Amino acid sequence: MATKLSQKRHTKRTPICKAILLCDQVIRDEATHKSSVIGIFDTALVASFPGPTPPCKIFLLLAGGLGSYSITAEVHDPKLGVVLFRSPAVGEIGAPEKPAQGELWLPVAALMFERPGAYEMVVFADGVEIARTPFRVKTQ
């Protein structure tokens, strides 16, 4: 009598974001595999409005995912309800049947802001929101 082979079936599980930090730069020590997050901020400074912010990085610490995910980010203006910036799919974590966890940092080019105020950095895994953090933009 033939028996059916059991097959392991993995379902994709979206990672959770344990940390989202806006920063000036990230340095990774190749010997220790530790990351140093430099210049963490929650307020971006511009010389005047309208004006650009300096380029920065988004540092992410992800855990709990299963599968391969494309990571993207957007800057939202909640007052106007618009997306001001959308990154290309620059980060990818995980593999088809492996944990999607670890550190990832996304570069953000200089962004033009028309006015001071509160904004949000929103992070997505395959188009599903996994993190959101507020930040402010003001003059120096």
Q: How do strand 69-77 and strand 82-86 relate by DSSP bridges?
A: antiparallel
* Cα 65-106-50 angle, rounded to 5 deg: 135
Architecture of domain 16-139: Sandwich (2.60)
Entry pTM: 0.83
* The pLDDT value given to residue 10: 55
* Sequence spans of domains, the chain: 16-139
- pLDDT (tens, 9 = 90+) of the chain, 140 residues, equals 555 554 555 578 888 999 999 999 999 999 999 999 999 999 999 999 999 999 999 999 998 888 888 889 999 999 999 999 988 776 667 666 776 678 888 888 899 999 999 999 999 999 999 999 999 999 98
Q: Determine the straight-line distance between the first and last CA of the chain, rounded to whole angstroms.
A: 79
